[in-house]
Structures are given as C-alpha cells and as structure tokens.
Structure 1
C-alpha cells in the first residue's frame, strides 16, 4: 500500500506559459497540499531528446549494428543508459503514480512525449518478454493521461469530425502504460482550450486536480520487479518466435 505518494508528472509542451503547464501546476499544487511528493519532468525545459539512437547508451554491445531492444537490454544490464534516460528512469522507478500531460497534435502526442516513452520506458527497464499487462513490471502502480485539444467536444463526439478521443489515446493508454502493468485511469481531457474562457479553464484545472487527487487515494503497490526482470530472460529473447 502507498499512503503519501511519490507522483511523477511528465509534461511535453515547449511553452512554459501554456495551459498544459497550468494544468501541471494545478495538479502539483493540489497533490502537494494533500501531502504527496511531486516531481515534474518538464521535457522541453530539461532539453530532453525525442529521437532514439546510439546516443541513448554510454556504450554499445555491438558497434556495427544498432538493434534498439538489444542495445537497451545491454544498457539495462550494465548501467549503460545516457544521463537523461537514467534520470527519467530513476524518477519512474520512484513513482507510485505517473501522470502524462500533453497536447493532442495531429491526432497524437508531441514527439517529445512519444520520445520519452520510446527512450525511457525501455526494454529491460519497463518491459521484457513474457511480462506484459497483468504481469507487467509496473503492476500495482497507477497512471493517468491528461490531454488538451484544440477541437471542441462536439468535434470529438461519436458523430463529430474527429470521432471519439479514446481511440487516439489507445496507443499510449493500452499499448504502453497498460502493457507495462500500470492501472490506468480514465483520461482527463481539456477540450477546445484556445476557444474557452477563464471560467471553462478554471473548470478544467479543477477537474484535472481532482482526478489526480482521486487517483492518489486509490490502492497501489510499488514493487521493484524492474530491477530483476532481465534475470529470467534469455539473451536476445526479443528475437525468438512465439
């Protein structure tokens, strides 16, 4: 069980004066006021790279070929991740609750958020073969997505121009967070932010804060399964059929 939580909020927006950052500030203030410890990863401010590559590792198992899962496994086994990835992985490892905050751009997250998922939630740290969903390495921990849109609720309705937002968030919700074992809350969506007035924005800030507080009241269990996950996985398990 987790009482006073360690909560990590990851925000991917380049403008510190954006409504995304206002949402982060409101959630962080509310959570801290309730006695929780909050860490904010401001990816743009911290100069986090979105692109995955050899720069992710301090040394390579194979200098001639770059296979991302093989390289990540080697780095996980030998403490070989680059400093920015190691910093973010340490934050994830300490977090009971994880909140991802980002705007919806072209039907998906900004490159910074996708890059954080690709680079930080890596093979050997956040997932390995045979450990997914109900047996995921972060089973017992909780996660939430908070997203802003330019489109109105009507545009994201069943009959709207864009359709429901759920399918757009599925790759992160199910194929990343749930895949890794997180218990994922319903997403918090702040619709049509550029078209809203101060009253509507205050309502969005309150809704996001309440959702974060509610999640912090739910049972959780933080295991260290990620530390030993590779011990039971054969070398190059990712390349085997079946």
Structure 2
C-alpha cells in the first residue's frame, strides 16, 4: 500500500524526527511504499495568497475560494500545490505527524492544508440540494483512503484526560480529525499520541516505538473513528444539525460520533 507522511517539525534530531524515521522504516519493512513531505526541509510556503495561482486574480481583488477554484480547474496552480495533491491521490493512507503547539498543529502544517486543499479538490465538491449538501463528512475526493495522526505533546496524559486542565485530547484533535481529515472523505483511525515528549529516555523511547509499530501494523485494518456521515440521514439538510431522535442526550463534539 502507498503511505504519505506529512511531517512538520523543524529539527531532524528531535523526538518527532526519530519517530518519523522509525515509521518510514517500519512501514517499508512491512512492504508498504512511503513518501514523506517534510515541510520544513521543503521550505513549504504556509500562507495562502494570490501567489498560489500562476495567473492574476479573476476578479477585482484576490478571493481565496474563487481563485483557488479557478486555478485548480484550469491548471493554474503552482507546482508545489499540484505535487502535494498528486501525493494525496497516490496515497492509500495519509499520516499527519506534528508536535502539538498551542493546542493545534504547527502553522506550516496548517498552511499545507490551506493551500493543498483547494476548492473543487477537497471542498466545494458535489451537488448542494435539499437532500445532499456537498460531498463531505464521509464523502469527497479522498473517500476510500485512511488517515491517522502521530502527535507529541509536552503535557502529561492526565492533563489531557476528560477532567484534565487542557481538555480531553480527543476534543482538542477533533477539528483536525473531523474537520480536516473526515471532511474530504478520509476514514480516520484513532491517533497515536506521545505525552511528556520532553521526558524521553532510551527505555521509554523503545516502548514508544514498539507501540507505534503495533499501531502502524493495523493502519489498514483498525476500526476508524465512527464519525456520523453528513448525507446518510442523521442530519437535517440544509441546517446540518442532528435530527432530534439522533443522540438526543448529547451535544458538542461527542454527538457527532456514533
């Protein structure tokens, strides 16, 4: 199978660098083909702007969505964006690997998403009607592929527990897993999170890589997070709120997981 790792850490000798190298070796040893988009090494341009098209804005000023659509549909995207989209088409599974900085992904990785997820490629896909509100949240260009996060965090696991001060790790990662990965169609398997990343010795690193290897072995067989499909009848369209009879006692992120 083909696996793309989109990796965002500026230091190759970091824990993230070591985990990325281990993941590549482990996946290749299992017979998979791996590509790595090392965003810092690539000097990836994170800002989304008019320079993402090889032609001038189509209107009187830059419109992030409309100019993205025009560039994608007419072959005017810059080469770096088109190359990453080709990798996504090639991949059977995508791994986003990053350190959690200020409760989210590093800006360079967010910029990869904003530029590569072009209009008509990752969003703005499919019909919009009274029964179907676009091909998204379980449908879309990337449906049939798998995705997983590999994340490091400085805090203790208890800090990210249901009653922890930082909030539950699943809630913190929900916008990425549901909004960035599930939205364009990925089946998202549970994340691999390493806590207390700054307190890593040889023995703990060995335990961590063993656990990561076991997770990578089930990348294509593990049950994905059971996010609810937008167009499968559980949501009112076009309001896109859950029907009254669906999870009636739940609200917030948890209500959108079956």
Query: With structure 2 as the length reference, what TM-score do the two structures score?
Result: 0.80
The alignment of Structure 1 onto Structure 2 pairs a total of residues equal to 218
- Contact 2:104 / 2:173 at 8 angstroms: preserved in 1? yes
User: What SS does structure 2 have at the residue aligned with 1:117?
Assistant: helix
Alignment equivalent of 2:82, drawn from 80, 83, 86: 86
Distance 1:69 1:58 in 2: 15
Cα deviation, 1:162-193, whole Å, max 9, x if unaligned, reads 12111111111001110111000001001011
Distance 2:61 2:214 in 1: 48
Range 39-48 or range 14-23, more displaced: 14-23
Alignment of 1:179-194 (within 5 A): 179-194=183-198
After TM superposition, what 4+ stretches of structure 1 lie above 3 angstroms from structure 2? 216-219
Is residue 49 of structure 2 the alignment partner of residue 53 of structure 1? yes
Distance 1:168 1:83 in 2: 33
> Could you tell me how far 1:61 is from its partner in structure 2?
4.5
* Structure 1: gaps (5+ residues): 220-240
Is residue 58 of structure 2 the alignment partner of residue 24 of structure 1? no
Q: Over alpha carbons, which structure has the higher Rg?
A: 2
Query: Which residue matches 2:109?
Result: 113
Range 200-209 or range 101-110, more displaced: 200-209
- Contact 1:193 / 1:201 at 8 angstroms: preserved in 2? no
Query: With structure 1 as the length reference, what TM-score do the two structures score?
Result: 0.85
- Contact 2:57 / 2:63 at 8 angstroms: preserved in 1? no
Distance 2:108 2:170 in 1: 21
Distance 2:190 2:135 in 1: 23
Distance 2:160 2:77 in 1: 39
Alignment equivalent of 2:93, drawn from 97, 103, 108: 97
* Structure 2: gaps (5+ residues): 126-133, 224-238, 241-258
Query: What is the CA RMSD across the aligned residues, in angstroms?
Result: 2.0
Query: Which residue matches 2:67?
Result: 71
Whose relative contact order is higher, 1 or 2, with alpha carbons under 8 Å and at least 6 apart?
1
